[in-house]
Amino acid sequence: MKYIGKKRLFISLIITFLIVGMFAPLYGASTMFDSIYRSQFSNKKSTVQLSNTTGGGNSNGYINVLLPQGSYDYCKDKENCIILTEKISSDWQNHKIQFQTFGSNQVTIRLSSPKKENSKRIKYPVVVDYQNLKVNNETIFSEPKALWDDEPFEYTLKVHNGETVELEIDIRRHHWTFDEIKDLQHFNPLMLLSVFILAFFFSYQVVQYIAQYKILQHYSRIDIFFLSVFIILLLIPASYMSKEEKSLRENRMLASSPSLFINNTFNTNYTKQFEDWFNDRFRGRKSFISFYKHFTYFLAKNLYSYKDLYFNKKTFWGFSKGEIISRQMTKKERLTFINNVKRLKSFADNYNINLYINVVPTAPCIYPESRFPFSIDCSNIDLIREDFKSNGLSNLLILPYEELKGHTDLVMHKLDPHWSEYGAFIGYQIVMRKIKERYPKLKILSENDFKITHSNLTRTDFDYKPSPGYIFNQLQLSEKVLTAQYKNYEPKNVSLKILKFEPATTITKSKNQNPLKVYMIGNSYMENLFYFMRYSFNDVIKKRMNPPEFSSWEFSRWEKDIIKNKPDILILTTTLSSGDPLKGIFKEDK
């Protein structure tokens, strides 16, 4: 021992362990440490599948709990199938789910873990532990079960039409044992030994080399330490490239590894693609970005901003610069808008459809102070009203503006551009009153038809999942900023059948006193409105104009479908931002 030096040996061993950890894939434990850490200690949430519910036959069993964004395809191509997804953590969490059945049949509740192919980024499979499953207060099992994707637990129960089923379950991320991980990772102890010995030789040599600086050349130990730290830091980002395909936070696909040659020719964009690939996948990217955001958030006194996204730390309003209306519509834009409406009306008249244009004001017009320090120009609201009036189209226009102002409860989401459930409910009533002018027997749902609660989340998008808001997610804000209380609406005693549930199309059927078919086209502001509309009409078809694959209105996308479905009512929902709200709806307007 005295020949090699205790200090040097100690430092060499530390470096050896670091190297052994870095080369874990070589001996089949690529994420062994990571998985142990994540399963035992980390409370970080990740979205996994909680249960898979299938209804048999043609009459459908379904659960009225909706999917988070990014999980559209979980139940793709399977009829009568809805997957519930929940965020799980390493601690037990209790979940209560209530759903109402439509039609008499059986419902299968399938508890499992996410499919392996859906979680490529995680080298070890995400396995979920379940315990205390209760269906309608009857305990099905109580002991913890680790349920794998290919070893699910299934429970089938018979249901009657309109029956409410209550499901209660505790879930957590599976806690791995060392033996489980060893088996899973195809652990190779001989390879580990080889890596360890080689790493020790290498690290001892490096330490010896550094020691020479200190001992033989009398260099500052402080600088030797500084240089060592710098070199380690320099090696970290490139030491592992993430295998994730999509960044949920950024709502985009991550750049894939570029090829130097494409079809035997040199890829001239290789360098650019390489940079994109590296920038998207280097080790520690999320941590560095998170650190940056926390650091800048901490330093910001009033207005925290990042790439045109803003959060006011005093008022707790968050917004993107894109929603600030900074200019009036030009005369040409106004004319195009009116002409588009006229063409739509002509189409609707031809097929005996009642057309309504629902223009939702954006949050800045309802709460101008919320966009401080930006100035707000909402003069387009008056201009549009004037144009509709002068062209004799006032009976088509629904523009809930004054009605949305002056409420104690928030009608707009504070961390999202959309209206809250309460705002949408007010909008719903205005829309219904407008329709009632044509259909006097129309029954309008009131607040008494809903169970109203308050929470700091509100629905914003087509998943109808209470959300902290788009700005909240993008800016990675802390939950502490969710100070607002929103009215949440849960329907009482209503039956609803979802025939189709996709980002671009949702079709619902319900039994109520308004036997009309409604066809709704619109942007995301339509979603919360649809949430109420679907309980009011027998048939509602909702077409979203801007799922990710589309970016603009193109009426031709829905024209044939409208003719085929012969709706009684056609509602177009758009937002009042700068420019023509229906820009590009007909081809020549593009």
Partner 1 sequence: MLFSSMTFIYVFLPIVCAIYLCVRQGLKNHVLLIASIIFYAWGEPSYLAIMLLTILINYIGANYISRSKKNTHRKEILALTIVLNLSFLFYFKYFNFVVENINGLFKSDIHFIKVIMPIGISFYTFQALSYLIDVYRGEVKVQRNIYKLALYICLFPQLIAGPIVKYRDVDEQISNRDVDFPKVVYGIKRFIIGLSKKMLLANTVGAIADKIFTQPVDQIDLPLSWLGAVSYTLQLYYDFSGYSDMAIGLGYIFGFQFLENFNYPFISKSISEYWRRWHISLGSWFRDYMFLPISRALSLSNSYSWLLQKIGRKKANYVLSFIALFVVWFCMGFWHGAAWTFIVYGLYNGFFIFMEILSGWNKNFKSLKIRFFQHIYTILVFICGLVIFRADTMTYACQYLMTMFGLKTNSVLLYQWLYYIDRIEVIAILTGIICATPVFSKMLYVDEKHKVLRSFINIWLIILFILSTSFIAASTYNPFIYFRF
Positions in the binding site for partner 1 (CB under 8 A): 213, 217, 219-220, 222-223, 225-227, 229-230, 233-238, 249-252, 268, 271, 274-275, 278-280, 282, 284-285, 288-289, 291-293, 295-296, 299-304, 306-309, 320, 322-323, 326, 362, 372-375, 417-418, 461, 470, 474, 523-525, 546, 548, 574-575, 577
Task: Output DSSP code: residue 405.
Answer: T
177 vs 220, beta carbon nearer partner 1: 220
CB of 374 to partner 1, least distance (A): 6
252-253 and 246-247 beta bridge pairing: antiparallel
CB of 224 to partner 1, least distance (A): 8
CB of 370 to partner 1, least distance (A): 13
93 vs 546, beta carbon nearer partner 1: 546
CB of 304 to partner 1, least distance (A): 8
Two tokens, residue 205: 């040599």
Going by C-alpha positions, the residue among 540, 527, 529 that lies closest to residue 568 is 540
Q: Report the distance separating Cα 333 and Cα 305, nearest Å.
A: 31
CB of 548 to partner 1, least distance (A): 7
CB of 282 to partner 1, least distance (A): 6
Q: Are 576 and 361 in contact (CB under 8 A)?
A: yes
Q: Which amino acid is at 43?
A: N
128 vs 363, beta carbon nearer partner 1: 363
SS3 87: strand
186 vs 321, beta carbon nearer partner 1: 321
458 vs 575, beta carbon nearer partner 1: 575
Two tokens, residue 267: 């890829």
Task: Output DSSP code: residue 348.
Answer: H
| DSSP code per residue over 285-331 | HHHHHHHHHHHHHHH-SSEEEETTEEEETTT--EEEGGG---SPPPH
Q: Which amino acid is at 101?
A: T
CB of 520 to partner 1, least distance (A): 15
Q: Are 221 and 214 in contact (CB under 8 A)?
A: yes
Q: Are 553 and 583 in contact (CB under 8 A)?
A: yes
197 vs 253, beta carbon nearer partner 1: 253
CB of 197 to partner 1, least distance (A): 23
Measured CA distances, 27 to 72, 188, 201 (Å)? 37, 5, 18
Geometric angle at alpha carbon 340, from 339 and 344, rounded to 5°: 115
Q: Report the distance separating Cα 40 and Cα 294, nearest Å.
A: 25
Ramachandran sector of residue 33 (left: φ over 0; alpha: ψ -120 to 50; beta: rest): alpha
Query: Which ranges of 53-143 would DSSP assign to H, the alpha helix?
Result: none
248 vs 496, beta carbon nearer partner 1: 248
176 vs 311, beta carbon nearer partner 1: 311
CB of 523 to partner 1, least distance (A): 5
268 vs 446, beta carbon nearer partner 1: 268
CB of 518 to partner 1, least distance (A): 21
Q: Report the distance separating Cα 373 and Cα 316, nearest Å.
A: 13
129 vs 280, beta carbon nearer partner 1: 280
Q: Which amino acid is at 539?
A: D
Q: Report the distance separating Cα 18 and Cα 302, nearest Å.
A: 42
Q: Residues 6 or more apart from 69 whose CB is under 8 A from it?
A: 248, 251, 461, 463
